[in-house]
Amino acid sequence: MNNSEVAQVFEDIADLLEIKGEQIYRVLAYRRGAEALKNLGRDINTVWKEGELEEIPGVGKAIAGKIDELLGTRKLEFYEKLKKEIPLGLLEMLKVSDVGPKKAARFWKELGITSIKALEAAAKRGELRDLPGMGARSEARILESIQSLRRRQTGRLSIGVALPIAEQLLAELRKHPAVKAAEAAGSLRRMRESVGDLDLLVSTDKPEPVMQSFVKLPIISRVRSQGPTKTSVELVDGLRVQVWTHPSARFGTALQYATGSKEHNVRLREIALDQGLSLSDQAFKRDDGSEITCAQEAEVYERLGLPWIAPELREDRGEIQAALDGTLPELIELADLKAELHSHSTWSDGANSIEQMVKAARAEGHRLLAITDHSKSLGVANGLTVERLRKQRKEIAALRKRLPKGFVLLHGSEVEILADGRLDYPDVVLAELDLVIASLHTSLRQSREKVTARLLAAIANPHVDIIAHPTGRLIGEREGADLDMDRVLEAAARSGVILEINSNPQRLDLNDVHARRAIELGIPLAINTDAHHPDHLAFRNYGVGVARRAWATAEQVVNCWRPKRLRDWLASRG
Ligand code: DGT
Ligand code: CA
Ligand code: ZN
């Protein structure tokens, strides 16, 4: 063990003792010991071998004894015992700034929270604010800190967090009287599932005052560099933002350049060169030095003899050839979605009644909603027994009578695919449902062979209409199952089952690459939000982003079908 590893053990001990509520002087003794080890200019193993542990300033007899045990036996009894008393997830929780040992202990003892994930869920449900010493503000701060921690760990931020921040910044920029237009570019505009930083473009003829007021926004913690045409800042949660200004006559080339991707831009520049033009973020330049400027992005493509290419396609995945051939897909749009096929109510782990979910779906402009609560084995989600499922069916039948004409309410279920590959309800029960979604939530860490076989079994069941979030990944938190995706897609194509693009920004599962393969194989897709709350219905925006990145048209996404067609299709299955 090196110095910092030994120091880490003592830091952990100090944290664990503090969570436990030990006397503060004992806690401090371990912290001092850890500090001393970090500042020790020599290798701790040498000091130990020479019997000089107690001579280290800040290390008393007790700590010296523990270092001796640790280096001699590679274990520390005291530490092992503590780790058994206190869930280790609490140490992980301390990495969230705004969560100290006292708060961690309180979350654990009063709410049973032992992981960052559980902490996040509780904060989202508003359960932390009522604890002593907490409030709505500190609850919100904890959520922000969790995001920021995740970002530090991966270096990238989820689109679900980045997009609302970008919209907020753009709204602020657009308020300035000198700003003619402000748009997000970069990976965010291309709707990638995560972004490294934000690239914002501003059209203005008076850049200085715009930049000066921008850097004063309270969400900005640090200005990294500031100039009239380019400013780089860091937000309070650590996210980096670049702002570029361009005169409106050059905004088209600027937006095209900054949207990327780099690989797509390289291709465009090659085409430009073939025509004797060099293309930059400023303009096209001829050999004689004269310029062609573009105020609109479409003019850039037009000049190159191409139709405008949607940002989501700009990944050098064949979009330029398709543009040349005139075979670009007519991409699905948000407004094409008319149905939500995956949603939860208070019958399982949703936050609202079926009636409230119907109301919310109608407000979103949907013409069809499927309620698909969890099945019985998912105990943590209050899954429905067959008896409760049948009761729910009655409630839905009664509710249908009160619905306005033309709105369709389906009774479905999100049925667990059990660890052995069987479904959580027998076929006779599945046959009673309007819609059956099958999904994996547990035993995701099984071998590739086993977990793939489970999914294949579900796909082969003629009662199953949709496979939800196929890999089960939670971005930044948990890897998806180790599926053999080729076999899954082949089987889906054969059985005619629908594969879901789950729109929750933590899932985005299928991802863009798999969704594109699915489309190529003729597999129908669903874009569902898996709403556990009316607000979640708005997540479909992210699902549409994935679908567009997968080159999907409205025809290929069943949520865009008319309710009648959808019901006929469902009725035609097992
Ligand atoms: P990110 O931030 O890692 O999520 O990904 P992007 O795509 O936003 O990349 P970023 O922020 O490094 O650059 C923004 C855009 O600027 C990028 O999409 C294309 C353009 N760009 C950056 N570097 C180059 C380059 O070397 N050549 C060309 N043609 N374009 C570039
Ligand atoms: Ca970027
Ligand atoms: Zn669900």
Q: Which ligand is nearest to the CA of 255?
A: 1
d(CA 469, CA 525): 11
Asked whether the predicted pLDDT for residue 285 surpasses 80, the reply is yes
| Helix ranges restricted to H, 461-524 | 485-495, 512-520
More confident site: 41 or 168: 168
Enumerate long-range contacts of 64-72, CB under 8 Å, 24 or more apart.
66/10, 67/6, 70/1, 70/6, 70/9, 71/1, 71/6, 71/44, 71/45
* CB-ligand 1 contact for 122 (6 Å cutoff): no
Asked whether the predicted pLDDT for residue 4 surpasses 90, the reply is no
b/e map 182-213, b = 16+ CB within 10 Å = bbbbbbbbbbbbbbbbbbbbbbbeebeebbee
- Residues 221-258 pLDDT 10s: 889 999 989 999 998 777 899 999 999 999 999 999 99
From the alpha carbon of 269, which atom of ligand 1 is closest?
Answer: 29
d(CA 497, CA 464): 7
Any residues with CB less than 8 A from the CB of 22 and at least 6 apart, and which? none
d(CA 369, CA 410): 6
From the alpha carbon of 186, which atom of ligand 1 is closest?
Answer: 8
Using an 8 Å Cβ cutoff, are 512 and 550 in contact? yes
Split at pLDDT 50, 70, 90, the class of 400 is very high
More confident site: 428 or 35: 428
d(CA 278, CA 282): 10
Using an 8 Å Cβ cutoff, are 225 and 184 in contact? no
CATH architecture of structural domain 260-325: 2-Layer Sandwich (3.30)
Q: Is the alpha carbon torsion for 451, 455, 461, 466 positive or negative?
A: positive
For residue 165, the one-letter residue type is: I
Query: What pLDDT score was predicted for residue 394?
Result: 98
d(CA 314, CA 300): 14
Query: What pLDDT score was predicted for residue 360?
Result: 98
Enumerate long-range contacts of 56-59, CB under 8 Å, 24 or more apart.
58/32, 58/33, 59/33
C-alpha 316 – ligand 2 centre gap (Å): 17
Q: Which ligand is nearest to the CA of 267?
A: 1
Asked whether the predicted pLDDT for residue 479 surpasses 90, the reply is no
Asked whether the predicted pLDDT for residue 291 surpasses 90, the reply is yes
Query: What pLDDT score was predicted for residue 95?
Result: 87
Q: Which ligand is nearest to the CA of 371?
A: 3
Domain boundaries along the sequence of the chain: 3-152, 157-246, 260-325, 334-571
Asked whether the predicted pLDDT for residue 40 surpasses 90, the reply is no
C-alpha 194 – ligand 2 centre gap (Å): 10
Nearest CA to ligand 1 atom 22: 262
Query: What pLDDT score was predicted for residue 499?
Result: 98
For residue 377, the one-letter residue type is: S
Locate 185 and state its tokens: 């570019």
Split at pLDDT 50, 70, 90, the class of 112 is very high
Locate 82 and state its tokens: 């503590």
Query: What's the mean pLDDT in 133-157?
Result: 85
For domain 157-246, the CATH superfamily is Beta Polymerase, domain 2 (3.30.460.10)
For the chain, give the mean pLDDT. Answer: 94
Using an 8 Å Cβ cutoff, are 78 and 66 in contact? yes
- Tell me which residue of 5, 91, 12, 78 sits closest to 40, measured CA to CA: 5
Nearest CA to ligand 1 atom 27: 262
Any residues with CB less than 8 A from the CB of 518 and at least 6 apart, and which? 489, 492, 493, 499, 510, 525, 550
| Residue the block writes with tokens 């780790």 | 83
* CB-ligand 1 contact for 253 (6 Å cutoff): no
Asked whether the predicted pLDDT for residue 151 surpasses 80, the reply is no
Query: What pLDDT score was predicted for residue 506?
Result: 94
E-assigned strand segments in 210-357? 220-226, 230-235, 240-246, 278-279, 284-285, 291-292, 339-340
Query: What pLDDT score was predicted for residue 97?
Result: 79
What are the backbone dihedrals phi and psi of residue 172, each rounded to the nearest 5 degrees, phi first?
Answer: -65, -45
Any residues with CB less than 8 A from the CB of 505 and at least 6 apart, and which? 158, 159, 160, 161, 193, 475, 539, 542
* CB-ligand 1 contact for 187 (6 Å cutoff): yes
In the chain, what is the greatest distance between 2 CA atoms, to the nearest angstrom? Answer: 87
pTM for the structure as a whole: 0.80
Query: What pLDDT score was predicted for residue 228?
Result: 87
DSSP reduced 3-state for 336: helix
Query: What pLDDT score was predicted for residue 38?
Result: 78
Using an 8 Å Cβ cutoff, are 234 and 240 in contact? yes
Using an 8 Å Cβ cutoff, are 448 and 473 in contact? no
Mutation choice for ligand 1 from 198, 263, 265, CB with most ligand atoms inside 8 A? 265
Query: What pLDDT score was predicted for residue 264?
Result: 98
Tell me how crowded residue 219 is: count the other CB atoms within 10 A of its CB. Answer: 14
Query: What pLDDT score was predicted for residue 41?
Result: 72
Domain 334-571 has CATH 3.50.50.60: no
For residue 46, the one-letter residue type is: T
Cα distances from 341 to residues 70, 224, 410, 427, 475, in angstroms, run 56, 45, 8, 20, 22
d(CA 284, CA 517): 36
Query: What's the mean pLDDT in 65-91?
Result: 93
- Residues 495-551 pLDDT 10s: 999 999 999 999 999 999 999 999 999 999 999 999 999 999 999 999 999 999 999
**Which numeric CATH code is attached to 3-152?**
1.10.150.110
Tell me how crowded residue 21 is: count the other CB atoms within 10 A of its CB. Answer: 12
C-alpha 77 – ligand 3 centre gap (Å): 44
Mutation choice for ligand 1 from 262, 279, 314, 315, CB with most ligand atoms inside 8 A? 262
C-alpha 508 – ligand 2 centre gap (Å): 19
Query: What's the mean pLDDT in 5-24?
Result: 91
Asked whether the predicted pLDDT for residue 476 surpasses 80, the reply is no
- Torsion angle of C-alpha atoms 310, 316, 320, 321, degrees rounded to 10: -130
From the alpha carbon of 260, which atom of ligand 1 is closest?
Answer: 18
- Residues 155-197 pLDDT 10s: 788 999 899 999 999 999 999 999 999 999 999 999 999 999 9
* CB-ligand 1 contact for 316 (6 Å cutoff): no
- Residues 446-455 pLDDT 10s: 999 999 999 9
Query: What pLDDT score was predicted for residue 48?
Result: 93
